[in-house]
Structure formats: structure tokens, C-alpha cells
Structure 1
Amino acid sequence: MTNSTISRPGPGTCTLVGAGPGDPELLTLKAAKAIASATVLFVDDLVSDAVVAHASPQARIVYVGKRGGCKSTPQAFIEKLMIAAVREGENVVRLKGGDPFIFGRGGEEVEHLREAGIAVSVVNGITSGLAGLTSLGAPLTHRDRAHGVLFMTGHAKPGDKGPDWRQIAATAHAAKLTLVIYMGVSSVEQITAELLTGLPGSTPVAVIQHASLPRQRHALTTLATLPECIARSGLASPSVMVIGDVVQGVAAWQAQGASALQTAAA
């Protein structure tokens, strides 16, 4: 879906758009329209080419890679580029993987743009933590297995010690919550050790890499064997880890039992 022509009527605009987990068919209609009407797009590293293909042929595409553990465009520089483009009358779309407001630093960008006197619109996208487990046929919540969900980051800000995983484990166990951990593969041994202080080692876990894309892979295991599973399967970033009894809804888990360990293409 593209427009053959795009225009710059008056003052520029700025929209933060969630590109979803990668499959272009998971874009919302509102997201596709915003992408098609942009005159310049600032695109994160994890946004798929099939999503960017919705842009107009006349649009300027600026790749501002943001990926944990890799060299990235400084956040402050991205914001300066966006502000300058809006002031030049461009229709700016900041295209982010997943949802801008779920570990996408969208909140920071909105604050800085508003401080510069620029109004910002936000279009939500499907986050990979939801799309990943859904692709395996299991829910994040379940009346019998999970009364809620905690979306957590496993990648702390420099100088920040990060989440208190022991407290999170105790809360998740007492309240029957599903844990969805983003950017946690590199810290999986520490995270697992601390979660085991409050969650049973038999707690089911699904690890999904490249959720919704043709190259998606996943592994099923238990909390006690999670680090070993990731090492053996070769799963790496970008992956999400879903921890909780809802993983029992995955057909392969039901077929193979709670000790299942499987890596397979979706």
C-alpha cells in the first residue's frame, strides 16, 4: 500500500508508529495510512522491509538502528533529526518495532518533542511478547492459569541495577501472573537464578525469536533449564521469554509433557 504522491501542507507533523513484530499483515490500518502519508520516516533496526514497503516511493527513509547489544544511533541525535524535519514542514513518521510505548522509548521521544513545542500522535502496534506466544497457539492470560501479565525488560539502563527479579518472582507466583521478558537473553542466567527463588523450577517457558516473521524459531522448556535451553537452541536477540502456566497451552507442550524441549521453525 503506497501513495504515488505526498505533500507538505503547512507545518510539519510527527507520528510515532508501532510497526508490530514484523509481519506486515499485523499492521493496523491506521499505521499503514500513517506510513503511506509520511514524507520522511525514521526507521528502527528491527522494522521489517515489508513494513517499510508501505511508504510512498517519494518518501525519504532514514535508518536509525536501535538494537540491544549493537552499535546504535544515539537517542538524542534521533530526536534532533525528528525536530528539525518537523520544523522544515515534513510529515514525520518515527517507525518502531512492536509498540512505541512498550520498551520502544516512545515515552522519552514524546516528552522531548513536546518540550520543543511539537505535537505528537502515537499509533499503537502489536508487541512481540503478545504476537510470539499467540503464534504458538497459547494466550498470555487464562482464567485458570494466569490472572494478569507483567511485561518486563531484561536490559537495564546503564547505572540502573534493573528489576528486582526475586520480588517479581514472588509476586508472579502469588498472583498467578505471566512474565514476558524482553531483551533478557544475554542476562538469562542471572534472571533465571533470581526467579527460581520464588517460582517453581517446573514453571513452563517459551522463548520466541523473530516473532511473526518467516524465520521465527522457538523453544519450549522449564524455568530450571532455561539457560541450558537457550544455549543449546542457539536462540538469540531479538527474542522474548514467556514464563508461566499459560505456556501449557502450546500444543507441543501438551503433546510432549512438561519436560519438553523443542526448537522449531514457526
Structure 2
Amino acid sequence: MQKIRYGLIGLLLLLGLATSAVASVSIGINLPSVRIGVNLPVFPQLVPVPGYPVYYAPEMNANYFFYDGLYWVYQNDDWYASSWYNGPWDYVEPVYVPLFVLRIPVAYYRDRPASFRGWQSNAPPRWNQRWGHEWEQKRHGWDRWERRSVPARAPRPEYQRKYSGDHYPRIEQQQKLRSQHYRYQPRDTHVREHYKQKGEYRDQGRRQEDQKHKSRDDRKSQGKKEDKRQDRRDDDRGRGDRD
């Protein structure tokens, strides 16, 4: 009887451990996006990184950036991206991180990992040391670029400033608000791919195409009206000549 009791206790302990493990995963992961521990109650101050098409958040104790219409966070040797300042965040594989995000100088990382120690503050992190030879082959030349032809910075999404706390939008609302208030179109291939996967870039492109068709139809309609008015004027002139 005592063996059975100990066996039941052991089984319950195992079940408890399994349940807690599942719970820890469900708390840490919000599929398809992840929670990364960055919790912003209000829209952050975004300051340009001189000479780069990037902003950083100097008042945050985090490696937090804004580039080409997306927010970027580097945490625990991983990159995450979001179209809204407080997430939800999507994990981005190292091979798909945009070049100008990789090129941000060490000095603008506000929460530098220990592995960054000894690296030049005015140079980008040594990603080839972090991610290995295979990554370096795929991103060959990532640390070389023509500094005189750096693209312009994307405008800061100031419209998000009024959405904070309990008014921060749910995922299904974020895409709609962004398409209404932020007309910027990303240039970076990896950023555009991010939006395509989320369905945002495609929908925004479709809306712009619809707007083009609408404008074209409006011009045609206006042209037809003008033609009719011209026909009436010609008819009136014809009647006057006959009289």
C-alpha cells in the first residue's frame, strides 16, 4: 500500500512538472508572434542614428530601433520585428535581418551583451563571429556599403502615439490603422517580405491600386462630362449660326 502511495505521489509530481513546462512555453510564446519582455506603456522617443536610415530609442534600456517602417529589437542574440511599437513581435532569422539594421554601430545598442565588449563603438557588431561562416557566405559584403548613397529614413509613425495603455490596438486592428495613417512603402527586400507574410504589404498595395483605378475612373468620368458640356456649347453655337 505504501509503495502504491509513493508511486501515486511520484506520478503527480511528474504531471505537475509537465504541466508547468507547458505553461512556461505558452506564457513565453504567443503564436505566430512572440513576447520578448519589451513592454512600452507609451510611444518611445525615436532619435536618428547619424549617417544611417535608422532611429534608436536612447531612453530605453533595450536594443530598440526603427528602420524602413518596422521596429527592431535585438535581445538574447536574436532579432525581432513589429509594425507597432509594443509588438507583438516576430522572430527574424539572422539571414533575413536587413543590412542597415546589421550595420547599426555598437554605440547605439543600449543593452549591449557581454559578447560586444572590446568591439569598436563606431562600427557594427561582428555578426560573422556571432553567426558563423555559413551566415557570412549568405550575407557576403554586409559590412561594406557606399556611405554617400544611404537611403532616406522612413518617417516615424507618429499616429501610434495616441494608442497606449488600454487603448493599444489588438493585432486585427493594427493592420487597419496602419494602412489608414501610414502611407510609407518599404524599400528593403526583407522588410517587404515581412509585410507580405503578414498580409499587410499586399493589402496596402491592393488599396493603392484600387485608388489609382478610382482616380483614373474619376478622370474619365470628368472627361466625359466635359465632352458633353462642350457638345452643348457647340450645339448652342450651331443654333445661333442658323438663327
TM-score over 0.5 (shorter chain): no
Rg larger for: 2
TM-score, normalising length: structure 1: 0.19
Q: Tell me which of the two structures has the higher relative contact order, counting C-alpha pairs closer than 8 angstroms and 6 or more residues apart.
A: 1
User: Which structure shows the higher helix fraction?
Assistant: 2
TM-score, normalising length: structure 2: 0.20
User: Which structure shows the higher strand fraction?
Assistant: 1
